[in-house]
Chain A
Amino acid sequence: MGVRVEDDAPIINKSIAESALLLSNISFMIVAVLRNENTLIPTGNLQIMKGDLLYFVATDSGKDKVLEYAGKKTIQIKSILIIGGSKTGIYIALRLSKLYTIKLIEKNLEKCNYLAKNIPNVQFVCGDGADVGLLKEEGISNFDAVISVTGNAETNIFSCLLAKDLGVKKTIAMVENIGLFDYSQKMGVDTLINKKMAAANFVFRHILKDRVLTQLYGVNAKIQEFVVRKNSRIIDIPIKKLNFPKEAIISGVIRDGKGYITLGNFELKADDTVFVFSMPQSIKNVISFFK
């Protein structure tokens, strides 16, 4: 998961080694830092600065602690406003309608009627998602999250910014225009959806035969998956003593179906599935390391 470091986070201007003392547990770890469009694989000495985007690996129970660590509060989401009845919007509505209160705004009346007739548990509103008056009338500030997925990136960004301004805690915008991508996040939209990137990720993963799981946006590093062989030379040695390639980090291990976060003292065993976070230039080294 990626978290941006906020002003009041307790970890600002501390190195990772220092900040680890703040929370002595092993349910999560930082695997990459994105600072001014550069990707850094963290070492103990790396200083965390305001505005860094930290990528964490965490176990289920560690999720909330990550947010606490980065100075964010957990948001309870109950109601969602979706702007735009695009395929993405409809799919989101269908998937989430049982779990959340959902309102969907769509411009085209006929489409609106068609959707309203066929999708239960969703309140449909016919109107322009970029119309401030309409958004206010629909009580945009009462929603916990706004997902803007119209075909127009500017509208989506604008609606999300407006929602943020009116006090919505979480905003998500679909931005197909890559040029707007970085800026929209800087301007305050919490999360971005880009269909091209999602598709590219999927294709990429397919080509590398499932070894590369996913690519995080903006981060050059890739997540790869390895299985430790039985007679491997890396077994039973603490990770910090292994000569692990630079610019790569072991981010987690699955052993007998259970996830572990690997800190320096962790010892690998045979048949462990290891997730490695690595910069492109060290991918080859990492692959040979596990051979």
Chain B
Amino acid sequence: MQNSKFGTFKMIFRQIGGLLIILGYAMVVPLLVSLVYSEFYSTIGFLFSGLICYLIGFLLYKKIKVTSEPLNRHAIIIAALGWLSIAIMGALPFIIIAYITPTVIAQQFVPTLTDYQSSIFYFKNPLHALFESMSGFTTTGLSMALHVPTIGKGLIFYRSYTQLLGGAGFIVLTIALLGQTSGKVAYLLYGAESTGERLRPGIIQTTRSIWKTYIGLTLFSFVYLVIGTYLIIPEYSITENIFDSINHAMAGQSTGGFSTLESSIATYHSTAMDMLYLLPMILGALSLPFYFKVLKEKQFSQFWKNLQTRSIIILSAIGGIILSFMLIKSGIVSEPFRKGIFQFISALTTTGWQTSDIHTWDSSSVLFIVVVGMIVGGAAGATVGGVKIIRILLLFKGLSWHINGYFSSDNSIKIVKFNEKRMLPDEMNSELAKVATFVFIYLLLLIVGTIITYYFMIPGFTLKDALFESASALGTVGLSCGITNPEMSPVLEITYIIQMWAGRLEIIPVLVLFRAIFLGTKPKVV
């Protein structure tokens, strides 16, 4: 018994080793970017972080010999633990660079005529570094870097880059690149992290297809943003334009929401730029398997026919307009339409680019954006957080199905048609049970997070702010009303780290991990 338990952990650590090898390789890209911008301290930081990740990964992956193959529960534990390890190891560059960069060099990033310090030094605190890393990999976008441009181009790029890596799923990426785990194992891992939808006959081809689609879309966003930015503000420096666009394309397609600018997209001070950035957010909120099928079969009418995609487009428009009217009613916000629509879509797609100071909003507008935007989230199979729109639709369908059931006789077979699928009552009930359980635990975690926030936040904020910030972390949105900052309580910071981690993995894997740690892996017999 003891032996098999040990074997279980060996197997899990071996898989995590695989993830770390890929992370080590991945550090090469920000290393090159640092070199391009002649930020040598950052270069060294990435070099060491990469080497450490690779070495640990190599040791775990190659030295551990396993005989047994992972089962479903192992795959889920690997997903939960793997994401935690990646966030921890991904924090290394922040810490190392914060410690090795001399103050003089760091202050060069700070614009003249300002009196604040470079934000790099916040990352000397490992918790802040972990927060930033977790926020990046889970595509949240909450940040400890108070003044983003002061951390150097290398780290700015690295932040957006972690969102790109985390977006379509780091485990999916590992399966695609390592490609040596057996099909069954790979499929279990893929299912534990993502939708588990098979696009091609083999699982490895499937994961590669997903990543190709994802990278393709990111490139499209990049070109779109470069051209758009150039047309709207031609006086903006072209190198800055390219740097911004490549970062924003990565952060947008992954619905992460990190920005390269002092105060996110609002820095451009242009309505046209706000509108330009709506498209990358919506593109990011649509399901990747959906893109793959549409592009492969060239059925572009699916953008309207597909239930999830259509719902997101409709909800974006209606929600944005409703929020705008609520802001008009409150009378607090200037340019309510511009801000209402942008912020609503940013919340719904769980991107988190910010153009408005949400702290000043009235409670009902905040409640609306939390419930209809952040909690709902984008499409299942996309890079978004939240409970995913398809689940909300299923719950509504279940409600109407239940009500309609009273009007047909006892013996009728009460078929329900949902998303082009005809389901028998038994199938529908089991779907509903799964979804309802998830939504329940999601809301529970949101409430717990809100209460913790309420007790540990800095004075000056109210319950609506606590709710907003907690929903933002759990839904991996990244909009902030100001509670998240380097001076926040460590308890709160850890709460948000856990919320982001759980929110990205849809909670259940994290609970399974806790069950395994505290109660072991033996099945419960009543």
The reply to whether B409 and A125 form a contact with Cβ atoms under 8 Å apart is: yes
The reply to whether A126 and B422 form a contact with Cβ atoms under 8 Å apart is: no
The reply to whether A124 and B412 form a contact with Cβ atoms under 8 Å apart is: yes
The reply to whether B409 and A138 form a contact with Cβ atoms under 8 Å apart is: yes
Q: How far is the CA of A193 from the CA of B410 in the complex (A)?
A: 30
Chain B nearest CB from A119 CB (Å) reads 9
The reply to whether A112 and B422 form a contact with Cβ atoms under 8 Å apart is: no
B232 in contact (CB, < 8 A): no
Q: How far is the CA of A126 from the CA of B410 in the complex (A)?
A: 9
The reply to whether B422 and A120 form a contact with Cβ atoms under 8 Å apart is: yes
The reply to whether A124 and B413 form a contact with Cβ atoms under 8 Å apart is: yes
Q: How far is the CA of A125 from the CA of B412 in the complex (A)?
A: 4
Q: How far is the CA of A116 from the CA of B412 in the complex (A)?
A: 10
Report the nearest A residue to B422, measured CB to CB.
Answer: A117
Q: How far is the CA of A123 from the CA of B412 in the complex (A)?
A: 7
B332 in contact (CB, < 8 A): no
In the assembled complex, which residues on chain A have CB atoms less than 8 Å from the CB atom of B424? 113, 116-117
In the assembled complex, which residues on chain B have CB atoms less than 8 Å from the CB atom of A127? 411
In the assembled complex, which residues on chain B have CB atoms less than 8 Å from the CB atom of A139? 409
In the assembled complex, which residues on chain A have CB atoms less than 8 Å from the CB atom of B410? 137
B415 in contact (CB, < 8 A): yes
A67 in contact (CB, < 8 A): no
In the assembled complex, which residues on chain A have CB atoms less than 8 Å from the CB atom of B413? 112-113, 116, 123-126
A134 in contact (CB, < 8 A): yes
1/0 per residue, CB under 8 A from A, across B359-399: the answer is: 00000000000000000000000000000000000000000
B4 in contact (CB, < 8 A): no
In the assembled complex, which residues on chain A have CB atoms less than 8 Å from the CB atom of B423? 117
In the assembled complex, which residues on chain B have CB atoms less than 8 Å from the CB atom of A120? 417, 422
Q: How far is the CA of A73 from the CA of B413 in the complex (A)?
A: 35
Residues of A within 8 Å of B, CB-based: how many?
15
| Other-chain contact of A118, B411, B412, B422 (Cβ < 8 Å) | B422
B408 in contact (CB, < 8 A): yes
The reply to whether B411 and A138 form a contact with Cβ atoms under 8 Å apart is: yes
| Other-chain contact of A116, B408, B409, B415 (Cβ < 8 Å) | B415
The reply to whether B409 and A137 form a contact with Cβ atoms under 8 Å apart is: yes
The reply to whether B415 and A124 form a contact with Cβ atoms under 8 Å apart is: yes
Chain A nearest CB from B218 CB (Å) reads 40
Q: Which of B401-447 contact A (CB under 8 A)?
A: 408-413, 415, 417, 422-424
Chain B nearest CB from A73 CB (Å) reads 30
Q: How far is the CA of A12 from the CA of B415 in the complex (A)?
A: 51
In the assembled complex, which residues on chain B have CB atoms less than 8 Å from the CB atom of A117? 415, 422-424
Q: How far is the CA of A138 from the CA of B409 in the complex (A)?
A: 7
In the assembled complex, which residues on chain A have CB atoms less than 8 Å from the CB atom of B422? 116-118, 120
In the assembled complex, which residues on chain B have CB atoms less than 8 Å from the CB atom of A118? 422
Chain B nearest CB from A158 CB (Å) reads 19
Chain A nearest CB from B414 CB (Å) reads 9
In the assembled complex, which residues on chain B have CB atoms less than 8 Å from the CB atom of A134? 411
* Chain A CB within 10 A, most for which of B410, B415, B422: B415
In the assembled complex, which residues on chain A have CB atoms less than 8 Å from the CB atom of B411? 125-127, 134, 137-138
Report the nearest A residue to B421, measured CB to CB.
Answer: A117
Q: How far is the CA of A137 from the CA of B423 in the complex (A)?
A: 24
Q: How far is the CA of A125 from the CA of B411 in the complex (A)?
A: 5
Chain A nearest CB from B428 CB (Å) reads 11
Chain B nearest CB from A283 CB (Å) reads 51
Q: Which of A131-182 contact B (CB under 8 A)?
A: 134, 137-139
Chain A nearest CB from B52 CB (Å) reads 54
In the assembled complex, which residues on chain B have CB atoms less than 8 Å from the CB atom of A137? 409-411
Chain B nearest CB from A203 CB (Å) reads 38
Q: How far is the CA of A81 from the CA of B408 in the complex (A)?
A: 15
Q: How far is the CA of A26 from the CA of B316 in the complex (A)?
A: 65
Q: How far is the CA of A193 from the CA of B514 in the complex (A)?
A: 66
In the assembled complex, which residues on chain A have CB atoms less than 8 Å from the CB atom of B409? 125, 137-139
In the assembled complex, which residues on chain B have CB atoms less than 8 Å from the CB atom of A125? 409, 411-413
Q: How far is the CA of A139 from the CA of B408 in the complex (A)?
A: 11
Chain B nearest CB from A140 CB (Å) reads 11
Chain B nearest CB from A6 CB (Å) reads 34
Q: How far is the CA of A117 from the CA of B415 in the complex (A)?
A: 7
Chain B nearest CB from A89 CB (Å) reads 15
Q: How far is the CA of A123 from the CA of B405 in the complex (A)?
A: 12
Chain A nearest CB from B413 CB (Å) reads 4
Q: How far is the CA of A116 from the CA of B416 in the complex (A)?
A: 10
Chain A nearest CB from B399 CB (Å) reads 20
Chain B nearest CB from A79 CB (Å) reads 14
In the assembled complex, which residues on chain B have CB atoms less than 8 Å from the CB atom of A126? 411-413
Chain B nearest CB from A107 CB (Å) reads 11
1/0 per residue, CB under 8 A from B, across A27-68: the answer is: 000000000000000000000000000000000000000000
Q: How far is the CA of A139 from the CA of B423 in the complex (A)?
A: 25
Report the nearest B residue to A127, measured CB to CB.
Answer: B411
Q: How far is the CA of A116 from the CA of B408 in the complex (A)?
A: 15
Q: How far is the CA of A117 from the CA of B410 in the complex (A)?
A: 18
Q: How far is the CA of A137 from the CA of B411 in the complex (A)?
A: 9
Q: How far is the CA of A210 from the CA of B496 in the complex (A)?
A: 82
Report the nearest B residue to A138, measured CB to CB.
Answer: B409
Q: How far is the CA of A252 from the CA of B417 in the complex (A)?
A: 49
Q: How far is the CA of A125 from the CA of B415 in the complex (A)?
A: 11
Report the nearest B residue to A131, measured CB to CB.
Answer: B411
Report the nearest B residue to A113, measured CB to CB.
Answer: B424
Report the nearest A residue to B425, measured CB to CB.
Answer: A113
Report the nearest B residue to A118, measured CB to CB.
Answer: B422
1/0 per residue, CB under 8 A from A, across B302-340: the answer is: 000000000000000000000000000000000000000
In the assembled complex, which residues on chain B have CB atoms less than 8 Å from the CB atom of A138? 409, 411
In the assembled complex, which residues on chain A have CB atoms less than 8 Å from the CB atom of B408? 123
Q: How far is the CA of A124 from the CA of B422 in the complex (A)?
A: 13
Q: How far is the CA of A124 from the CA of B423 in the complex (A)?
A: 13
Q: How far is the CA of A113 from the CA of B413 in the complex (A)?
A: 7
Chain B nearest CB from A261 CB (Å) reads 47
In the assembled complex, which residues on chain A have CB atoms less than 8 Å from the CB atom of B417? 120
Chain B nearest CB from A87 CB (Å) reads 19
Chain A nearest CB from B408 CB (Å) reads 7
Report the nearest A residue to B415, measured CB to CB.
Answer: A116
Report the nearest B residue to A139, measured CB to CB.
Answer: B409
1/0 per residue, CB under 8 A from B, across A13-35: the answer is: 00000000000000000000000
Q: How far is the CA of A118 from the CA of B422 in the complex (A)?
A: 7
Q: How far is the CA of A113 from the CA of B422 in the complex (A)?
A: 11
Q: How far is the CA of A138 from the CA of B413 in the complex (A)?
A: 12
Chain A nearest CB from B187 CB (Å) reads 26
Q: How far is the CA of A112 from the CA of B410 in the complex (A)?
A: 14
Q: Which of B236-267 contact A (CB under 8 A)?
A: none
Can you give 7 A-B contacts (C-beta < 8 A)?
Answer: A113-B413, A116-B415, A123-B412, A124-B415, A127-B411, A137-B410, A138-B411
- Which residues of chain A have a CB within 8 Å of any CB of chain B? 112-113, 116-118, 120, 123-127, 134, 137-139
Given A113-B413, A123-B408, A124-B415, 4 further pairs, Cβ under 8 A: A117-B422, A120-B417, A137-B411, A138-B409
Q: 9 closest A-B pairs (Cβ-Cβ)?
A: A116-B413, A124-B413, A127-B411, A116-B415, A125-B411, A125-B412, A113-B424, A126-B411, A117-B422
